[in-house]
Structure 1
Amino acid sequence: MAVTASLVKELRERTGLGMMECKKALVETDGDIDKAIENLRKASGLKAAKKADRTAAEGVVSAKIAEDGSYGVVIEVNSETDFVARDENFLGFVKQVLDRAYAEKIADVSQLMSGELENARQALVQKIGENIGVRRLQMVKPESGVVGTYTHSNNRISVLVELKGGSVDLAKDIAMHVAAVNPPVVRAEDMPQDVLEKEKDIIRAQPDMEGKPAAIVEKMMGGRIAKFLKENSLLDQPFVKDADLTVGKLASNAGAEVVNFVRYELGEGIEKQESDFAAEVAAQVEASKT
């Protein structure tokens, strides 16, 4: 069967792939469009597997909550470059992922990415040419209260805040504070002991501690640890929109209690690989020959 321009156009519309790739697939199947699609899907899985070991530390984070604040989800989807993170096809895939996690209340990546979404991811890898991955997600479902969300305009920080009592708007305001200030814990008593011990070691090493009696050192230590906890505990921090109020006071004034928060920052914890640009281009040229 002849491979016509209209056949190539139809395959492009059905797959979203480039003209030359579609034409090649049709030539290989003698114009059988269904067979061409099947082969392209197989190829997309192979291509996705080949790119799976490449570091994907760019992308977006995104969140969605129920209108009544009864539950919410936050996700991180990664690409290799910031350019792809702004691509409409990538953002469309992110929306698919978020919508499914929200609609089906899924809190496990492997469960979320079973079936159609994994096929969509592999097809996107083939189309865009970068490693794409759903890195993590989390659901917050208050037992008695609400959840609010704030996502920074660049889609690199997204927060869910769970309140006991209060309102979605209050939770959103506190989520904005968490996004901006990045407190490690909700309350001072939540601070991990190993973090406190490291801070004490730092304080002991300060020049003004040298040569002082142990009792004086301990007294100074107590004051500085108290200051450290106050600065790093959400409830004790001055609220970003009104420094005369602490976040704890803001919540209590509204008859609410902050239960927990989830803060996702894009790429946190991912070790980015630094590569030689010329070598990378040469490797890509060589790979294109195979």
Structure 2
Amino acid sequence: MEITAALVKELRERSGAGMMECKKALVEHNGDIEAAMEHLRKTGLAKADKKADRVAAEGRISTAADGARAVLVEVNCETDFVGKDENFLQYSNELAQVALSSGAADVDALKNARMADGNTVEEARAALIAKVGENVQVRRLAVLADGQNVGSYVHGGRIGVLVNVKGGSPELAKGLAMHIAAMNPQYLTPADAPADFVAKEKEIALAQMSDKDKAKPAEIQEKMISGKLNKTLAEISLTGQAYVLDTDMSVEQALKKEGAEVLSFQRLVVGEGIEKKEDDFAAEVMKQAGLV
């Protein structure tokens, strides 16, 4: 497989490793970016897999809540400029209220719901496109229904969180939603991590051990690997993370303090998972000027 500059760039952005290390890893693994990423982690050259943090599309996430029900709605547009447009913001905010009041369970159902002016969500979207001159899409709807102590939070219109807490206070639920927005836990507890993920992390921890450590008895090696694995799982699990509103305690300790338990959470980031075309404006201007 041809090792292109774009492939090297993607691996470099994901791993944080140097360009030459990335190219070498790709060559050694025949262009398989996942295998190359794993190799960089095992050899200690990778800082972190940043793929999940890359936001590709523009738009906004809005929320609405009422008692035991809460929703998040993601509406996408083409540019950040339109994402801040008054008409776009009004549509997004009203859409969240419509999603809450209509009881829609998914985007398809939401599109047929009625806005305040009597038009359907889809009709209002078409009208908005005519106003802003960009493609607008209602992409995702997250619903928390029949919750107990529901927390919702949207950070800067870019990150939205819903969290369902058993017990505790509204302030705790809100704080947990803010925490999830900031720290992006992948799992609720360390025990929720999939077995294949745990096995892979053990393999990587073993590969990163020094020759001196590898010479130690097997039981000592196992304790070292388990310690590293437990630290990793704590960092990516909600209950194991340090609570952002009080870093002297973990989220688990904050929950125990109020006799509470997190039942579930959802987190949306604008544009996650969408590949975004990067425009070369300099080249475009030169082309229009007849210079290329």
1:237 and 1:135 mapped to 2: Cα distance? 30
Q: 5 Å matches for 1:26-41?
A: none
AA of the residue aligned to 1:112 = L
After superposition, the C-alpha distances for 1:233-254 in whole angstroms (9 at most, x for unaligned) are 1112211111122112212221
Deviation, 1:79, is: 0.6
Picking from 240, 244, 259, the partner of 1:240 is 244
Between the aligned partners of 2:287 and 2:140, the Cα distance in structure 1 is 30
Does the C-alpha gap of structure 1 residues 110 and 281 become closer, same or farther in structure 2, counting only changes over 3 Å?
farther
Per the alignment, in what secondary structure is the counterpart of residue 279 of structure 2?
coil
TM-score, length basis structure 2: 0.71
Q: CA deviation at 1:185?
A: 1.0
Which whole-Å deviations, capped at 9, do the CAs of 1:171-200 have from their partners, x for residues lacking one? 001111111111111111111223223322
Q: Which residue of 2 aligns with 1:71?
A: 69
- Stretches of structure 2 that go unaligned for 5 or more consecutive residues are 1-55, 114-119
- The CA RMSD over aligned residues, in Å, is 2.4
Letter of the structure 2 residue corresponding to residue 81 of structure 1? T
Are 1:257 and 2:255 an aligned pair?
no
Residue by residue over 1:54-105, the C-alpha shift from the partner in whole angstroms, topping out at 9 and shown as x without a partner, is: xx81001121111x3x110011110111000000011111122111101112
Task: Show the 5 A alignment for 1:196-275.
Answer: 196-208=198-210, 210=214, 214-275=218-279
**CA deviations over 1:233-282 (Å, ceiling 9, x no partner):** 11122111111221122122212111111111111111112233367679
Provide the residue aligned with 2:24 in structure 1.
Answer: none
Whether the 8 Å CA contact 1:72–1:102 is kept in 2: the answer is yes
- 1:150 corresponds to: 153
Equivalent residues in 2 for 1:118-133 (5 A)? 118-133=122-137
TM superposition shift of 1:213: 5.1
Partner of 2:89: 91
- The count of aligned residue pairs is 226
Aligned counterpart, 1:110: 108
Q: Note if contact 1:234-1:247 (Cα within 8 Å) is conserved in structure 2.
A: yes
| Shift in Å, 1:216 | 3.6
Q: Report the CA distance shift for 1:117/1:280 in structure 2 as closer, same or farther (over 3 A).
A: farther
2:265 maps to amino acid: F
**Structure 1 residues 243, 277: closer, same or farther in 2, change over 3 A?**
same
Rounded Cα–Cα distance in structure 2 between residues aligned with 1:234 and 1:160: 13
Q: Is the 8 A contact 1:187 1:234 kept in 2?
A: yes
Q: Deviations over 1:125-151 (max 9, x none)?
A: 1221211101101111245x2111111
Contact 1:200 1:221 in 2 (8 A): yes
How far apart, in 1, do the equivalents of 2:229 and 2:250 lie? 19
* TM-score of the two chains, using structure 1 as the length reference: 0.71
Alpha carbons 1:142, 1:164 under 8 Å: kept: no
Contact conserved, 2:59 with 2:78, CA < 8 A, in 1? yes
Q: Which of the numbers 144, 167, 185 marks the counterpart of 1:183?
A: 185
The percentage of aligned residue pairs carrying the same residue is 48
SS of residue paired to 2:163: strand
Is contact 1:58-1:80 (8 Å) kept? yes
Q: Distance in 2 between matches of 1:190 and 1:280?
A: 49
Max Rg structure: 1
Question: What letter corresponds to residue 59 of structure 1 in structure 2?
Answer: G
Q: CA 1:250/1:82 → structure 2, altered by over 3 Å: closer, same or farther?
A: same
Q: Secondary structure at the match of 1:120?
A: helix
**In structure 1, distance between residues paired with 2:256 and 2:219:** 37
Cα deviation 1:104-124 (Å, max 9, x = unaligned) = 121200110126111111121
- Contact 1:85 1:91 (8 Å CA) reproduced: yes
| Amino acid of the structure 1 residue aligned with 2:83 | A
